[in-house]
Amino acid sequence: VDKDALDTQVKDRKIQEAAEKARNEELANEMKQNDKIMCMLEERQKNDIRNVNKAISEFQKNFQKPETRREFDLSDPQALKKDRPARLSDNDPRCTISGLQKFMGEDLNYHQRMKFQKEQLREWSLQQQRDWKNALADQKFADDLYDKNRIELDQKTMEQQRKEEESRRAVCAATKDFNRTQAAELVERKRLEKCQKTKEDMDEISSLLQGDLLSENPEQAVSSFGRHRVITDRWKGMNRDQLMAIRYSQQQQVLEKLRLKEEERRRGAEWDRQSIQAARAHLVLERHQQRQNRERRQALDNINAELSQEQKSKNIYLKEEAYSNFPTGQYYAQFNTTSR
């Protein structure tokens, strides 16, 4: 038998039992502490409840006495001794609406009150008449001022429109003059070009008629036996110099023709460009004038809207504030009445 192993197991067993016993004792002590705390809390709660009940009783005894209750007057033994007359004065707080002890027109200072009310009504009537006259005067002044401002705005608008019409007519007249001048220049240029072309054609025909091609110059086939003789079998027309001169003249004419066509094309492009620029400038001017007219019309509409809003606000004030205090027949019918 391994005695050392058995001793080790016994020792571990004792250590485990001692640890378990210590843990159980710790748990028992904690449970005792918790039970003690619970007892103290229960005792504190009972004392608190007792103190609250005592405070409630003291409060009811000191501040909620039977004579302070609303229905105490029904069972008060001293009610007859404490009773007072039903009405001491007009301002008696006991004369409530539900008491039916004081009615409309039955106050003690009835005559003084009626005199004061009549004087007050007379002052109110005079004040309303004065307010009505002042309101009519203000309304008339506002209407006159509004009509005057509207007439001035209309006159300014008409003057501006007249100036715009004059400027538009001036621009149209200037455009017509410019177009008329351009058309006259175009007609004159075409006439000059036609004359130049006719002259060139005549020069070309004359050159061809007087040239060596059609005249058949006899010097091309001059015989050695004399200038009056022509070697018919050797004559082949004009010589090289003559042919080169003719070809050079033709090339010059072709180049001149091309130059004239290019100039005509440039003049036509320039004319189209100027026409487009003039039309564009006229369109920009019209748009600018339309924008100005629209802005001025919008400004005029805004001014008219503001004046109209001010007029409406003034009418609303006169209708709801100044003229809303007219007394009706029901107001006068409540005096000199009695329920008896």
Show pLDDT as tens, one digit a residue, over the chain (340 residues). Answer: 677 888 888 888 899 999 999 999 999 999 999 999 999 999 999 999 999 999 999 998 888 887 787 788 788 888 778 777 666 777 777 777 777 777 777 777 778 888 998 999 999 999 999 999 999 999 999 999 999 988 998 899 899 889 989 988 999 989 999 999 999 999 999 999 999 999 998 888 887 776 555 665 556 566 777 655 666 766 665 567 767 888 999 999 999 999 999 999 999 999 999 989 998 999 999 999 999 999 999 999 999 999 999 998 888 887 777 666 666 777 677 777 766 5
- Separation of alpha carbons 95 and 86, rounded Å: 8
What distance lies between CA 50 and its chain's CA centroid? 73
pLDDT confidence of residue 235: 63
Give the model's pLDDT for residue 236.
Answer: 61
Entry field: residues in the chain: 340
Q: Please state, in angstroms and rounded to a whole number, the distance separating the CA atoms of residues 140 and 146.
A: 10
The residue type at 256? E
Cβ-count burial 182-203 (b if 16+ within 10 Å, e if not): eeeeeeeeeeeeeeeeeeeeee
> DSSP 3-state assignment of 30?
helix
Assigned token pair, 229:
């003789």
Q: How far apart are CA 204 and CA 207, in angstroms?
A: 5
Place of tokens 């019918």: 333
Give the count of beta carbons closer than 10 Å to the beta carbon of residue 335. 13
The rounded distance, in Å, linking the Cα atoms of 255 and 249 is: 10
Q: Is the dihedral of CA 191, 195, 198, 204 positive or negative?
A: negative
Look up residue 246 and give its amino acid.
I
Residue 315: its pLDDT value, please? 86
SS3 content of the chain, % helix, strand, coil (to 5): 80, 0, 20
Instruction: Check the CA dihedral 172-175-179-185 and report its sign.
Output: positive
Confidence at residue 208, expressed as pLDDT on a 0 to 100 scale: 72
Q: Nearest 5 degrees, angle CA 12-CA 18-CA 22?
A: 145
Other beta carbons within 10 Å of 225: 8
Beta bridge partners of 222: 230
Separation between Cα atoms, residue 28 and residue 41, nearest integer Å: 20
The residues facing 230 across adjacent strands are 222
Task: Please choose, from the candidates 303, 300, 334, the residue with its C-alpha nearest in 3D space to the C-alpha of residue 105.
Answer: 334
Q: Residue 218 and residue 235: Cα distance in Å, rounded?
A: 9
pLDDT at residue 271 in the model = 92
Structure tokens at 7: 């001793």
Residue pair 261/268 in contact by the 8 Å Cβ criterion: no
Q: Quick one: pLDDT at residue 138?
A: 92
Domain positions in the chain are: 121-237, 239-291
* Structural contact between residues 209 and 309, judged by C-beta atoms closer than 8 angstroms: no
